[in-house]
Structure 1
Amino acid sequence: MDTISKEDADHVKDHPFSSQELQALQATLKPRDDETDETIHLSASRDAASRDAIANLLFVLAGHPVATRLKSATRRRSAQLAALYVRLQYDDFALSLSIFDPLTTAVADYTSDLDIWKAVLQFIDLITPPPSKSIPASYFGTPFTRSSASHQGSDQSRADLKDPLRRELNDWTYENVSGFWEKYFEGKDWAERCTNIFQDLSKRHNGNALQEYPAKHSEDKIWEWLDGFQTEFLEPQKSLGSPQEKPHLDSSRGKYFRTKKTGEITGGQHKRQLDLLVKRRSVSTNKLHDWREVLVVGELTCSPKKDAWSDTFLQLAVYVREVLTVQPLRRFVHGFLLFGDEMQLWVFDRSGAYGSEFNVCEKPERFISAISAYALMSDEELGLDTFVQQDGRQATIVMENATSKEDMVLGLERWPFVVQRSIVSRGTACHRTTDEECVVKFSWRSAERRAESDLLKSARASAGIARLVCACDLTSIKELRSGLDFSSAKGARRKTFRLVDARTPDDTKQSFTGQPTQRENMTISGSKRRNDSSANRDERVSKRPRRSSRCQEVAPSDLDKSQAQFAKPQELFRNRILTCIVVSPAGRPLRHFRSPTEFLTGMRDAIRAHKALFMDSKILHRDISEHNIILTDPKKNSGFSGMLIDLDLAVAVGENRQNEQTEARHMAGTLQFMAIEILEGGLDSKTAGIEHTYRHDLESFFYVFLSICICYGWEAGEAPESNILSGWYTGKIKDIYRFKLGDMGPGGFEKIILPKFSPTFQCVIDLAMRLREILFSTGALDIGTREDPEELYGPMVGAFDNAIQALSW
């Protein structure tokens, strides 16, 4: 290519290589210590070292701002460079290295930036086949958002969760919110009692209520003071007089407890040690606590706030996530941080965290009142659910039937079978009814989105889709936060974390100027890497980028001003509406399959249901995940053994199958099951993302299929300790993107994914290969959307039919 468009030339001019960046490019072509040539010239070398050198060069170029701005007819150049990087890493010998000669010459014998980018465009155009008849990617989607929901099982240690929670709470955390103290601690039934406690304590110590508060702020000393305080003022003191004589001496509803080691609190996702917690006095005082009993969480530290805030706050967030996971119907959770003389009071809800702070010594009455209040608050003031009625161990709800308009009394099974493990999210929780006829779903939908009940009504004619029985809205974030002012004009401070991620301004530059990320030197079997080149080729399938968790707090002013509109949300908080929906029929989670045949039948019928929803009802689901497919009795579900649930993120589509609803502000889908092209849309912070299509949902079905085949079907004690699919949901977006590109490529799929199938699912390996071929083709990955949906729906359903038939022989 001798010419380059004016627009592309302007991009190159606006983003020149710095001397440091140019050195990083040229360094990728430098020989290893055991090489003798001054530079690896491709015309003379065709071994593994050449492939690594070219792959590293493409890796670095893919992260440059110019690559993210140049687009072909269907894809970004950065994505095409990343795809080529993956092909080289997996020894795609059909890719001739000679096509890269102009690029390596332009880099090694540098004359201008323009020559380098001309060479890039030249070899991309040479190897990119003409696009199939497909729908061009539409880049008017929505910015990407992250949550900790994908982290499950062993991936939920404090270290594992802190980085995801940084991302989840980034820009949705506020300090010094105006009206916070007045809303949560004043005008309550117990407010006068808190005042009386402070006055009584002051009188005993000659006006110094904190005389006995430890000057040296060790955790043991603070607990000793707090335990003595609650014994004296919050527990029954019948000998000191009747409640009428000294009302503040009546017993409080809650009591403070302390854990000294991990394992003293049960029922959570991981073993943890919580500094302080409040639970009801009526609950057993057994030494072991349960996360289901926790009302308030607290953290103590001797370190100054300025040094320890970020780490301590995220530690508190980990504990709040535990509470919301086992108490998913909580409206919000109170928490506090005590940095010696500095105290922060926090409330976490499904839209983030907000709080107030003060100096304990300067405001002793506020300190005493806060400590007392947490033990005196009612269920509603603590954010507990008040909609579900408890009668002993039986939980019931009363709702109006959507058809007959008559009230229905529904009994709920005690524990939900679906729970979303995150804080800032829809917080979805699904219970079966005790008669096993319906599913009751609670979720915090976006106030900007069309209600799921409306979509279910529109989809009533689509077989395999949940049928609406009842629906109602319970409350909203806007209502729960009424009376609070989050504006900076009133002193509120929005907390922003620097996140080393593909959608942050600094990340592109950082990934460009450094060398490609180191890769693990382990084979699939776990043996150490050998030094000979043949070993390198055999083992290259296991070399994946290491994930970085480098994050630090940063003030919003430190962000690139030109990208402020993408780096920072415009609204003060996301308004969500808590909705309860009852649908039928009931079913079992996909992972509770009784046989491979039942699993395959459920998957096939869920795809059939998706087709009917999209083609007939003109609705696109957009959140295909393991939790949104349930196994059903075909006698109760129109002959379908699998059913799609949860249309919270669904959108209506027009006759041209383009999304009609564009008010949703965040990229849709569950990260672990997200399509490659959707991830690709998250690589460039200058664009809003890629519009979701039916093909992206079908790709998500494939990832659900693979996840079940790898993670389930093991005998007790035989399952692998590490999850090979963790790269699909942890780390930077660009690394997740590369992981999936590599795993779905011919080499990666056959050498990394298929060998990890559990013993139960060895029988469906041929089906897995066929599904991959249908979705991605046999050669270079085709991730575009076909114009005719039947080109994918028909072959996928047929592949499942053939596999089901084969299992019955």
Structure 2
Amino acid sequence: MDKLPTPTSPTARSPLPHLPDPQLQSAPTLLQISTVPVNSTPHKRKAALTGLHQPIKGNVSAGKRRRANAVTTLIEQELAGAQHTCLDFVERFLFPESPNAATTGCAEEILSAIIATFKQAATEATTIAHGIRCRKFDQKHVYVCYPPAYTNKDYPEWFCRFANAIQQHTSPSLTGSSSTCPPTKAKLEWCVVKGKPLRGTHNNDIRPDFVLTCGEVDGEVPLEWRSVLVVGEHQSTGSNASEAFTQLASYAEQVFIAQPFRIFVFGVLTSNAGPHLTFWRFDRSGAIGSETLNYSRSDSDLLTVVTALVSISQMDARHMGFHVDSISWGDEHTYPLDQKSDISIKMFKPILGNSLVTVDPSLKLAVLLKELVFLAPGIVTRGTRIWTGALSSGEAIVIKYSWSNTKRALEGDLYQLASEKRVIGVATILCCTTYENVLTHLHAGGSPAADSNFRQPQAYKIHMQRQNRVLSRLVLSPTGRPLLDSSLSPLQVAEGLLAGLIGHASLFFQGGILHRDISPNNIIVIDDSLPQLTLVSSPVPTTSDPFAWIWPRDTPLRGCLIDLDYAIEASAQPSGAIDRTGTYPFIAVQVLRGRERHRYRHDLESFLYVLIWVCCYPVVAGSANIISPFDSIWPASDPLSKWRDGDEFSVTSHKVACMIDDPMYFGLLLERFRPGFEHFKRVAKEMRKTLWSQPGLRSCKLSVEGKPSERVGGQDQEGTEGGGKEYEEEDEEESLRLLPEEVRFGVSNKDGFQEVKKSLQWLVAILQD
């Protein structure tokens, strides 16, 4: 499963008077679109790792950092093992359910028409038009392709002229269509863009060699990523095929970012060594390519290429790669490209069990999407998109689309389970629906015959068993701002942390669900300025509520916990390999090391990292004292950069040495807290003790999980002997073994929660005074 962290490499940063929050990859949030964070799935370093930073104070290079320093490598890692060659790619993906698909006879007529048109307009008698010549051998016409050159300078121009000529000479009489225009009802044009920036995601250095775009094309107006339908890359001189493919994939990622309802993207990869072309299709499970086509002559693959380009020019929204089943969009728009398309989600029926005050559960509802507030980049990811909306009665809601791995429980099912268990402090689900399944709907696979039609069928089958995904839509309430929002006051941050802790405890102790992805994006402060939905539920007397110790039901919370993408039922811990989940900078040490299964104390550890993060960011000039020679430990300009950018070994080593083992280094970290967050230092110190203090000692030390028989002295709680598990590190051999139900030695999960809750309650109270 995809998992992981976030943004920009500090080595590329130039000194800035004010740095924005390093955007974290984790879960849905409700931010303004101007600062859309990018989300990812934890642990593994994905392309979603780095944020889509806005240019800072006109510093364009800041907007380019994501591409220049990280993403190419990240995409290469993301697609490793996720590239497959389909032997019937053209038939399967370029002519799906298309009764009017062009034939090879149609392709020959198009090539003939191109040459005939050129002859009429040319001043010289020739049989070459747009690099195409017709030869006649033994009463058989053979069309030969003649690109002027295969250099990166000349080839993209030729390809676009050729592809546009094919479109121009495609007529209903050739394709069998009764319409005078393609189903898209849009003007499509292949354009060379390698020397032109494309507007859309602050990545002006991302420039495909050529693209198929929809809408009017004006040489005076820069193209936008929102209008790109197909991306193209011509292998540059000196680059290899793998590098060219990664570049093509990076363009597909930009299309996914700019077009929230895109479920797959076509790509065209051409060679600098000869007339060789490969079609690719990128989706949330990886990339599938055709066999390399030799388009030099019509008695090889030229006719296949022509018919494929004809089919692409006539595809409707669904076959071009847009999700259409759950949405509708304005008539003036050809595709559901982005928020400019007036997109509405189609009718949904609220889950009856929620008994909403303002919603008649017998009615179905339709909601206009108001604003895209969260998106996740990357390719092989959940691809999460979060929209705000409002019911007709005015209450604010959130609509979340994401690609869930079919090996995991559906997020909607866990929300429903939490609702049935009367969990508090967690977002409420109103509706959950699933749509496209990558294997069966997008790949037309799942049968032995279909899955065997790959160059390496077994590898493809194994990959899809691990990475098959299904698109799900959740409608949730309430709405709010994540802890990352720099406009939140210290009191609001404290209230959000307390609410997140309460929600997490209720989810675990009461609902039997472990969250496993605590991050600043997954805790929101409820927006009191908007009307929120309320629930009707039968009152439970405090005296009869077995979970009243978590939080009194009659006392409102100012925030809640969201995103159950990586949550699991606590009784269903997976067997076999340890499943490392979480958002990279906030993953507990032993989970990131791959030493322990994720349990309650690890999420509690993540809460400490979240508190520290929101207290340090955004960094304000002059707010952090430069303490030489220790500035390299917690850099004043970006204190926690090592947590975000280091590998697993360096991150865990840094946390153990500088946060757990050494109180002086931890004290230096507290000096990096922003103005107004001084009171948070006491809470951070107390949480550190809750997690790592040692019995009878004033020091803190990392403890590892063991068994009762591995207690100090080789005695378990009953006094029987037992051999301890060997670990490589000496400090781990000497440390106290924790029971799975303990936060620290001798302290249960429940008691550990109560300690942290008490600290946060104190913090809220003192900030309210």
TM-score tier by shorter-chain length is: 0.5 to 0.7
Structure 2 CA distance for partners of 1:160 and 1:211, relative to 1, 3 Å: same
Given that 1:321 and 1:421 are in contact with CA atoms closer than 8 Å, whether structure 2 keeps it comes out as yes
Aligned to 1:670: 583
What is the distance in 2 between the residues matched to 1:210 and 1:721? Answer: 66
**How far does residue 235 in structure 1 lie from its aligned partner after superposition?**
4.3
Aligned to 1:181: 90
Given that 1:145 and 1:666 are in contact with CA atoms closer than 8 Å, whether structure 2 keeps it comes out as no
Note if 1:469 corresponds to 2:397: no
Structure 2 CA distance for partners of 1:717 and 1:474, relative to 1, 3 Å: farther
Aligned to 1:401: 350
**How far does residue 411 in structure 1 lie from its aligned partner after superposition?**
1.8
**How far does residue 693 in structure 1 lie from its aligned partner after superposition?**
0.5
Aligned to 1:233: 166
Note if 1:289 corresponds to 2:252: no
Partner of residue 134 from structure 2, selected from 184, 206, 222: 206
Aligned to 2:592: 679
Given that 1:195 and 1:369 are in contact with CA atoms closer than 8 Å, whether structure 2 keeps it comes out as no
Aligned to 2:755: 795
What is the distance in 1 between the residues matched to 2:217 and 2:101? Answer: 24
What is the distance in 1 between the residues matched to 2:463 and 2:445? Answer: 20
Partner of residue 277 from structure 1, selected from 202, 211, 217: 211
SS at match of 2:387: strand
**How far does residue 606 in structure 1 lie from its aligned partner after superposition?**
0.7
Note if 1:266 corresponds to 2:200: yes
Per-residue CA distance 1:219-240 (angstroms, 9 max, x = gap): 23222213322443324999x9
Structure 2 CA distance for partners of 1:296 and 1:744, relative to 1, 3 Å: farther
What is the distance in 2 between the residues matched to 1:367 and 1:332? Answer: 20
Aligned to 1:732: 647
**How far does residue 478 in structure 1 lie from its aligned partner after superposition?**
1.8
Note if 1:301 corresponds to 2:239: no
What TM-score results when the alignment is normalised by the length of structure 1? 0.64
Structure 2 CA distance for partners of 1:383 and 1:488, relative to 1, 3 Å: closer
Structure 2 matches for 1:586-605, cutoff 5 A? 586-592=479-485, 593-605=487-499
What is the distance in 2 between the residues matched to 1:297 and 1:274? Answer: 7
Amino acid across the alignment from 2:244:
T
**How far does residue 576 in structure 1 lie from its aligned partner after superposition?**
1.4
What TM-score results when the alignment is normalised by the length of structure 2? 0.67
What is the distance in 2 between the residues matched to 1:578 and 1:727? Answer: 34
Amino acid across the alignment from 2:349:
E
SS at match of 1:149: helix
Q: Which moved more, 1:429-438 or 1:575-584?
A: 429-438
Per-residue CA distance 1:99-139 (angstroms, 9 max, x = gap): xxxxxxxxxxxxxxxxxxxxxxxxxxxxxxxxxxxxxxxxx
SS at match of 1:318: helix
Amino acid across the alignment from 2:306:
I
**Structure 1: runs of 5 or more not aligned:** 1-142, 497-555, 557-567, 682-688
Aligned to 1:337: 269
Given that 1:150 and 1:672 are in contact with CA atoms closer than 8 Å, whether structure 2 keeps it comes out as no
Structure 2 CA distance for partners of 1:671 and 1:249, relative to 1, 3 Å: closer
What is the distance in 2 between the residues matched to 1:366 and 1:199? Answer: 13
Aligned length: 581
Per-residue CA distance 1:2-23 (angstroms, 9 max, x = gap): xxxxxxxxxxxxxxxxxxxxxx
**How far does residue 469 in structure 1 lie from its aligned partner after superposition?**
0.9
Partner of residue 320 from structure 2, selected from 361, 369, 382: 382
Aligned to 2:295: 360
Given that 1:253 and 1:375 are in contact with CA atoms closer than 8 Å, whether structure 2 keeps it comes out as no
Partner of residue 698 from structure 1, selected from 604, 609, 620: 604
Structure 2 CA distance for partners of 1:737 and 1:665, relative to 1, 3 Å: closer
Structure 2 CA distance for partners of 1:236 and 1:465, relative to 1, 3 Å: same
Per-residue CA distance 1:245-291 (angstroms, 9 max, x = gap): 99799997422222244644333456422222222125776532222
What is the distance in 2 between the residues matched to 1:729 and 1:772? Answer: 20
Q: CA RMSD in A?
A: 3.9
**How far does residue 170 in structure 1 lie from its aligned partner after superposition?**
1.8
Aligned to 2:702: 781
**How far does residue 578 in structure 1 lie from its aligned partner after superposition?**
0.9
What is the distance in 2 between the residues matched to 1:282 and 1:348? Answer: 26
Structure 2 CA distance for partners of 1:488 and 1:430, relative to 1, 3 Å: closer
What is the distance in 1 between the residues matched to 2:180 and 2:622? Answer: 57
What is the distance in 1 between the residues matched to 2:177 and 2:77? Answer: 51
Structure 2 CA distance for partners of 1:333 and 1:672, relative to 1, 3 Å: farther
Aligned to 2:729: none
Note if 1:741 corresponds to 2:664: no
Note if 1:577 corresponds to 2:470: yes
Structure 2 CA distance for partners of 1:323 and 1:604, relative to 1, 3 Å: same
Partner of residue 283 from structure 2, selected from 349, 356, 369: 349
Amino acid across the alignment from 2:50:
H
What is the distance in 2 between the residues matched to 1:378 and 1:255? Answer: 15
SS at match of 1:328: coil
Partner of residue 754 from structure 1, selected from 646, 670, 676: 670
What is the distance in 2 between the residues matched to 1:715 and 1:144? Answer: 31
**How far does residue 755 in structure 1 lie from its aligned partner after superposition?**
4.2
Note if 1:711 corresponds to 2:617: yes
What is the distance in 2 between the residues matched to 1:450 and 1:779? Answer: 37
SS at match of 2:686: helix
Given that 2:148 and 2:154 are in contact with CA atoms closer than 8 Å, whether structure 1 keeps it comes out as no
Aligned to 1:223: 156
**Structure 2: runs of 5 or more not aligned:** 1-41, 54-61, 116-132, 136-140, 333-340, 353-360, 535-554, 626-634, 694-698, 706-741
Q: Which moved more, 1:365-374 or 1:752-761?
A: 752-761
Greater fraction helix: 1
Q: Which moved more, 1:731-740 or 1:643-652?
A: 731-740
Aligned to 1:43: none
Structure 2 CA distance for partners of 1:284 and 1:193, relative to 1, 3 Å: farther
Amino acid across the alignment from 1:309:
A
